Chains A and B, each alone.
Chain A
Amino acid sequence: MIPAQFDYVRPESLSEASQVLASDEDAKVLAGGQSLLPLLRLRLAYPSTLVDVGRLPELKGVHDRGDHVFIGAMATHDEVMRSDVVRAGCPLVAMAAAHVADPAIRHRGTFGGSLAHADPAGDLPAVVLALDGVFVARSAQGEREIPAAEFFVDYWESSLGPGEILAGVKIPKLGEGWGFQYEKFHRTAQAWAIVGVAAAVKRSNGAITEARIGLTNMGPTPLRARATETALQGMELGDQLRQACEEAAADTSPPADLHAQPDYRRHLARVLTHRAVRTAAGAP
């Protein structure tokens, strides 16, 4: 199908982009367009103007900033999954980025675009949430840092204000002793996650000292499996892990759709959390 008409601007700078966005509430940011274009083609979205930030140098690249990795909003999934900086500093992000859609879409789709789209079925939001990433937003008023826990508001809604553009995300490096796993459960390779689980687990002397678990598609936003995170603390690898992961679906409100009902999603969250935690913890 064919998109409806819209205007198009390609600003030279981030500040120019945010001016356009601030002046027109029906204007939308165009990043890689991999989520937006299908919506436009199905005429499910009617933006007045697309503000193409895809070429802004300020939004590009992946940067090692000592205690954290800064991933520019316009870094593509393909860049992110292959970046040595990401693989070394926050391997979980690279793992999940490799699960986004398919290779051609990963060439165009961007890290920031995908997160700002705030689709709880996307693979990256749960990962950034699990890693306590910090979103850096820019507007005419300057720069604002938004903790991941406050970024995702509802289905397809972030806390970015009018005129605010996501510049990038700071992913704290976790240091020694951590292991990672992203478990994506979907029916076909290119399908969206029915449920996904992002796990980062730290072990010391055989026991888990800290666990962080992000859940994909278990509610209107990505969620942390806090109860399981707490239960896992101090645990040795063994049968009791499963017990701790039984709490993984606590306080979730998963959607019902063509591919799964909520009770099945809750079940999957438990099973996949167990698997992700075991793998992240290096269990045989």
Chain B
Amino acid sequence: MAGSDRRQFLLLALGVAVGGGAGVLARRAGIETSAPGRPRPPGAGAQGDFLAACIRCGQCVEACPWSTLHLTGLGDGVGAGTPTFDARRVPCWLCEGYDAPLCIEACPTHALRPLADLREARMGTAVLDEATCLAFLGTVCRACWHACPYPNEAIVFDEMLRPVVVPEVCIGCGLCEHACPTEGASAIVIRPHEAS
């Protein structure tokens, strides 16, 4: 069997060389940025690191008590099978009442990294559309501010009492997008962080 052992080892080594070469080329061609950026569960960190560590097992999806998360389909390219969420439908409720977000605890590979403080959760950033926001249209509305876990920090008011997002503080949970009373699409939506 010694000859067969050596053949198998050579095949394996050849495979590593071929895969490594192809991987370098693919990276140069920008494969890691070919997955569209998406709002991520808390703890996902930079897109590149997240896509590298996530094994697409779906345990975060099962762990989420509010069924916020779902896995993306093949249309997501190299990101296929990773978790994301549509905050308009179900936002991230930040596992209030639990010690830590359950998705992070479920993740076997630290693709979702344990957080010392929920404020480090960078799921995305809320972006406000002044053209459809009721407050900018003249109504008194502060639904997003009421929903925000960090009112007066992540969402503040300007001198006309209109909401303004502070992107440095916003963690992208989407509670504002969920709460916005605008018909149809929300006037405030979570934009994903850019692909690395």
Chains A and B are bound partners? no
Residue numbers of B with Cβ under 8 A of A are none
Residue numbers of A with Cβ under 8 A of B are none
